[in-house]
Amino acid sequence: MDEPGQSITAIKAAFIRSQVRQLCAPLEASPDWNGSNRVQTAKGDHGRPGHLSDKAVQDIVAKVNDEIRKHNRMVYSAQSQRHVAEQIETLYWNIISAECDDADTNTNATTVVAPRDADLTESHTTIKSLLPEQYTDLHLHPQHDPHSGHGHEAEAYTTLREDLIEMARKRDALRQNLARYRHLQSLLEPLDDPQTNIQPNLVTRDGELGKELDRMRILLARVTGRVGEMKNLNATTLDRRDTTATGTDTNLSQSITPTTTAQTDQQKLALLMDLT
């Protein structure tokens, strides 16, 4: 018995395989013929045509079965069986499509024609648009009359439609979760190789990060000392400016100010970072 949900190609391919298996069944001499042949052979009629020994019969049957197997492998291959099944499905749908085209003018405005290639794996909103809410508004094929069916067909359709929409909603939610998890996975990719991506960033003895921190401490101490020297120099300059006379103060300002203002930011930074 065919399982529900199978395609026409799968059903026809299974039928063709069953017929090919029957054709591939080994041949055997019938019991009546074997009995008659043994009786005639036992009576000494070896010279008469048509009477063969059991060994000769077995050899002939084995050769015939071998030729049958070779023929079936060449003619009834899996590819050819699949091709025939697909042709049957194509012919079937061509007939149905032609009948549906002829019946389109006879359908009501509220009737929804369900296409044969309708993709019911899309979102739940797409499924709602493909499948009408009422069974009476569904048009499957020209001979389909939803009003003449039993009530259980409409109930089954409504139940299956609601189940399909609910499963589609759950699948949409799972797709969103999957996209979020993949994004999180991409963020965690740097942690896949800890020896290369994590270990160098850990503060360990004789580690790369530890050595870099030591260099930063030395640099910070030198920069702090140099900043202190510059502050002392500025304080000394201010003291001289306060103790000198007005004319001398003006001359000193003219001699110092151009030197300080003429320095660019890079020069100041170079002076600050000059550790030699």
Same domain, residue pair 119 and 54 = no
Same domain, residue pair 79 and 114 = no
What is the structure's pLDDT at 214?
Answer: 83
**Segments of the chain with pLDDT less than 70:** 1-5, 40-51, 98-122, 124, 138-151, 200-205, 239-276
The last residue of a domain, from among 183, 199, 225: 183
Buried b (16+ CB within 10 A) or exposed e, 223-257: eeeeeeeeeeeeeeeeeeeeeeeeeeeeeeeeeee
Same domain, residue pair 178 and 122 = yes
Classify residue 198: in a domain, yes or no.
no
Residues 267 and 273: their CA atoms lie apart, in Å, by: 10
Classify residue 201: in a domain, yes or no.
no
Residue 85, burial from CB neighbour count under 10 angstroms (0-12, 13-18, 19+): buried
Classify residue 234: in a domain, yes or no.
yes
Same domain, residue pair 20 and 73 = yes
Q: Which own/partner pairs from 116-122 qualify as long-range (CB within 8 Å, at least 24 positions apart)? A: 120/164, 122/168
Same domain, residue pair 59 and 123 = no
DSSP assignment string, 144-171? --TTTS-HHHHHHHHHHHHHHHHHHHHH
Q: Residue 11 has which token pair?
A: 């059903």
Residues 122 and 115: their CA atoms lie apart, in Å, by: 15
C-alpha 14: how far from chain center = 29
Same domain, residue pair 20 and 74 = yes
Same domain, residue pair 232 and 178 = no
Classify residue 228: in a domain, yes or no.
yes
Classify residue 61: in a domain, yes or no.
yes
The last residue of a domain, from among 17, 50, 84: 84
Classify residue 118: in a domain, yes or no.
yes
Same domain, residue pair 128 and 176 = yes
User: Coil, helix or strand for 274?
Assistant: coil
Neighbours of 131 (CB within 10 A): 19
Residues 141 and 101: their CA atoms lie apart, in Å, by: 10
Number of domains in the chain: 3
Buried b (16+ CB within 10 A) or exposed e, 193-208: eeeeeeeeeeeeeeee
Same domain, residue pair 155 and 116 = yes
> β-pairing, 112-113 with 138-139?
parallel
Buried b (16+ CB within 10 A) or exposed e, 154-173: beebeeebeebbeebeeeee
The last residue of a domain, from among 167, 183, 199: 183
What is the structure's pLDDT at 21?
Answer: 87
Residues 21 and 27: their CA atoms lie apart, in Å, by: 13
Residues 235 and 194: their CA atoms lie apart, in Å, by: 52
Classify residue 148: in a domain, yes or no.
yes
By the 8 A CB rule, do 81 and 19 touch?
no
Residue 249 belongs to domain spanning: 217-273
